[in-house]
Amino acid sequence: MNILVFVKRVPDTESRIRIQHETRSIIEDGLNFVASPYDEYAVEEALRLKEAKGGTVRVVTVGREDAMPVLRKCLAMGADAAALIKDDMPETYDGLRTARIIARAVERKFAGADLLLFGKQSVGADNSQVPAMTAELLGLPQASVVTKLEIEGAAGTALREIEGGMEKVVFSLPAVVTAQKGLNEPRYETLKGIMAAKKKEIPVVKLDELGLTAEELAPKIVITGLDAPPQRQAGKILQGDPAETARELVALLHSEAKVI
Amino acid sequence: MIAVFIETRDGKIKKSSFEALSEAKRRAAELGTDTVAVLVGASVETHAADLKPYGPGKIVCLENPALADYSPQGYSRALCGFVRETGASALFLAATAMGKDLAPRVAAGLGAGLASDCTKISVKDGTLEFTRPIYAGKAFLTLILASTPQVATLRPNVFPLDAPAAGAAAEVVKKAVDIPDDFIKGRVAEVLKEQSAEIDVTEADVIVSGGRGLKGPENFALLRDLAAIIPRSAVGASRSAVDSGWIGHQHQVGQTGKTVSPNLYLAVGISGAIQHLAGMSSSKYIVAVNKDPEAPIFKVADYGIVGDLFEVIPRLKDELKKILAE
């Protein structure tokens, strides 16, 4: 089974996001960048499938050279190969542009994959766009936000999370699947893996090798503003007897906030 | 024209689809255009009666027996075809599990830009402008889409719902969707509901959420008891409670969980790590119960009780019971 896993470099979830208002972008200085947490579940699932069924796992990202450490981490986890599709454009928050790059790369550079795995979203852009867009562009079925995946021959069954329950999705391969927390417990890199990953060559695919037109590469999203969230004011703090504070709180929720 | 995809589950239209329709009507009025509510399925005309009171300009039923089960490919084909034929300028969907699954396919099929999980939509210089949280709400991105049509998903529980007008009329049009054999390569075969009748945290009006302060999985019963007496409520959890295995990850609120905006978020024994605050700070009211007066959660809480949750929560339940009975 040949599996492609798509990962993205993002600021870790403990990061405080600061904004550069003139460029309408976030300030990257001082941020710690990691593989998006959901991507780790995707890599782990790929490795487990490979261990059970054989085949190869290739990890791919679209981004700048500074995304290399994320690919090395995935190699250290056990991926066979990696590739960087080099795109120097800063964060566009535009899913379609990235999906077009990935779909074209799958056709031209990584043909023959049985499964395309992604995290359910990057923590950051929070779009949840790229996997389903890639599936549409390639005419493939998809199962997104998956917590259980089974592959049997050329068919797959997945449980995907919906409001208050699950959907059982059946599909044929090749397919796009996106990983949700709960799918598995990602392994840590081993020292041996880290050493081996350092030595592996990571090929770089140039954007112009993909033959996309300027129109196809133009972001559809035009950023008109980037702002910090509205500051919340600290409110009333109640202290003292539990029964008394509970009564007071309910009275406030009822008569002042009017939410109860 | 703004088209709105109307999602049905368990034979009923989702509230978040009515919210999306309400917002579409407001923006369409500003743009001087109309709205169309679009149902997709094998036979969906029965839902038209429930839609009419919400006042869409028109109701369109896109039908094919192959659309009986939800499939992103089949539904996307139906919606893409409809938008192309009608030249709709925008398509709105609720940012539900289905909406998030479907909207990107439709946008890619149409070559359109997609604004995901919007919390605000306005009209600026005759163009729709979308605002959406990024980094789980640590920042807000405002954008316009350089494409026609434009596709957007709207976060549930954020956009005001129009009051339904009894007796309102709307034209209902049925259209057969052409779907070639073998076109649909994946579909939903079965919907498995959770055992309890609990609603999802993303759809709840009130969330009672627990963290490390609960000390163990058994104490989530305290929160479940409290949630049980509050209408349209759900139990949430912090990442540390989920990672400790005290409660399922579908309850997790925060940057690697769900981003929520209920009317009331009650944080019990949650200190308020930045990645948790990101996921819930757009709640209308936040209440914190924590024994540590220095906990960061108090900095964002509208009301806080500094005290032992094991003493406070049972009493809070009694007080709520009294007031809800009135």
pLDDT tens by residue, A137-176: 999 999 999 999 999 999 999 999 999 899 999 999 999 9
A27/B contact by beta carbon, under 8 A: no
Task: Find the residue in A nearest to B202 (Cα).
Answer: A163
Annotation: CATH topology of B2-176 = Rossmann fold (3.40.50)
Tell whether A225 is covered by a domain: no
For residues A170 and A242, membership in a common domain is answered with no
Identify the pLDDT of residue B196.
Answer: 63
With CB atoms and an 8 Å threshold, state whether A222 touches B144: yes
Please report residues of B whose CB lies closer than 8 A to that of A250.
316, 319-320, 322-323
Q: Is the pLDDT of residue B267 over 70?
A: yes
For residues A189 and A257, membership in a common domain is answered with no
Number of domains in chain A: 2
For residues A85 and A58, membership in a common domain is answered with yes
Token match 């035009």: residue? A222
Side-chain-facing half-sphere of B253: CA atoms under 13 Å: 34
For residues A123 and A101, membership in a common domain is answered with yes
For residues A132 and A201, membership in a common domain is answered with yes
Tell whether A86 is covered by a domain: yes
pLDDT tens by residue, B35-81: 999 999 999 999 999 999 999 999 999 999 999 999 999 999 999 99
Identify the pLDDT of residue B195.
Answer: 61
Average pLDDT over residues A69-80: 98
Tell whether A28 is covered by a domain: yes
Q: CA angle B282-B53-B101, nearest 5°?
A: 50
**B149 prior amide bond cis, ω within 30:** yes
- Name the nearest CA neighbour of B270 among B202, B220, B203, B204: B220
Q: How many CB pairs under 8 A join A and B?
A: 297
For residues A213 and A234, membership in a common domain is answered with no
Reported ipTM exceeds the 0.90 cut: yes
CA distance A248 to B312: 12
B41 to A71, B71, B121: CA distances (angstroms): 42, 10, 28
For residues A176 and A75, membership in a common domain is answered with yes
Q: Which of A19, A169, A254 to mutate to test the interface with B (most CBs of B within 10 A)?
A: A169
What strands, in cross-sheet order, belong to the sheet with A155-162?
Answer: A204-206, A81-86, A56-63, A2-6, A115-119, A175-179, A142-152, A155-162, A165-172, B186-193
The boundaries of the domain holding residue A256 are 230-260
Tell whether A223 is covered by a domain: no
The band of B270, judged by pLDDT with boundaries at 50, 70 and 90, is very high
Please report residues of B whose CB lies closer than 8 A to that of A133.
104-105, 107-108, 114
Residue A136 phi, psi (nearest 5): -65, -45
CA distance B247 to B223: 12
Tell whether A22 is covered by a domain: yes
For residues A174 and A95, membership in a common domain is answered with yes
For residues A14 and A69, membership in a common domain is answered with yes
With CB atoms and an 8 Å threshold, state whether B72 touches A99: no
For residues A253 and A201, membership in a common domain is answered with no
Annotation: CATH topology of B206-325 = Rossmann fold (3.40.50)
Please report, for chain B, the start and end positions of each structural domain, with discontinuous segments joined by +. 2-176, 206-325
On the question of a common fold for B2-176 and B206-325, the answer reads yes
Interface of A with B in 75-134 (CB under 8 A): 93-96, 99, 123-134
For residues A103 and A177, membership in a common domain is answered with yes
CATH number at residue A61: 3.40.50.620
For residues A198 and A248, membership in a common domain is answered with no
CA distance B168 to B163: 12
